[in-house]
């Protein structure tokens, strides 16, 4: 919003008007907990489902990384169906978790069905090395049985 106030310039034509722009009052950014909620659900002894709700960006990627780091069973499914934004920082976390799982002879799958998430996964070719599913039930059925090939 702008307000016009008179500003005298010493001109013989009278006062000139200049525009004053009032800076917007900064709004408090929602907390990281409100931007991204994560739930870990032990589906079975060998399967963990990690569900994310919200935005996965530079500010929140650490929360996702923490959820994908410790106490992981033979198979992990990352459910991103409720993620509205996935940034490159989040993508790096997913790829790093999948690489660790491969080295540790575990499996990982990703569930995504929103355009912003699918687009980033496709642009970076994630589906070439991490299985991506549109439905959670498909991932739950298939990921535990898709053990990685032995390292040569």
Q: What is the pLDDT of residues 73-107, one digit of tens each?
A: 999 999 999 999 999 999 999 999 999 999 999 99
Specify the pLDDT at position 147: 62
Specify the pLDDT at position 4: 47
- Give the closest residue to 51 by CA, choosing from 30, 87, 82, 89: 82
- The answer as to CATH 3.30.750.24 being correct for domain 33-145 is yes
Which residue numbers in the chain have pLDDT < 50? 1-7, 149-152
Specify the pLDDT at position 3: 47
Category of 125 on φ-ψ map: left (φ > 0), alpha (ψ -120 to 50) or beta: left
Q: pTM (2 decimals)? A: 0.75
Domain segments of the chain as ranges: 33-145
Tokens matching residue 91: 């993508």
Q: How far is 124 from 38, CA to CA, in rounded Å?
A: 24
- Give the closest residue to 46 by CA, choosing from 145, 152, 149: 145
């Amino acid at each position: 919003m702008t307000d016009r106030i008179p500003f005298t310039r010493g001109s013989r034509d009278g006062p000139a008007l200049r525009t004053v722009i009032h800076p917007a009052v900064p709004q408090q950014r929602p907390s990281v907990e409100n931007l991204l909620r994560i739930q870990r659900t032990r589906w079975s002894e060998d399967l963990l489902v990690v569900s994310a709700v919200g935005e996965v960006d530079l500010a929140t990627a650490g929360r996702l990384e923490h959820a994908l780091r410790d106490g992981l069973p033979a198979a992990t499914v990352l459910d991103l169906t409720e993620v509205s934004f996935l940034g490159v920082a989040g993508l790096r976390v997913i790829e790093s978790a999948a690489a660790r799982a491969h080295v540790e002879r575990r499996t990982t799958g990703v569930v995504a069905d929103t355009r912003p998430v699918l687009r980033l996964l496709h642009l970076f070719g994630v589906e070439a090395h991490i299985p991506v599913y549109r439905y959670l039930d498909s991932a739950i059925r298939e990921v535990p049985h898709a053990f990685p090939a032995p390292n040569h």
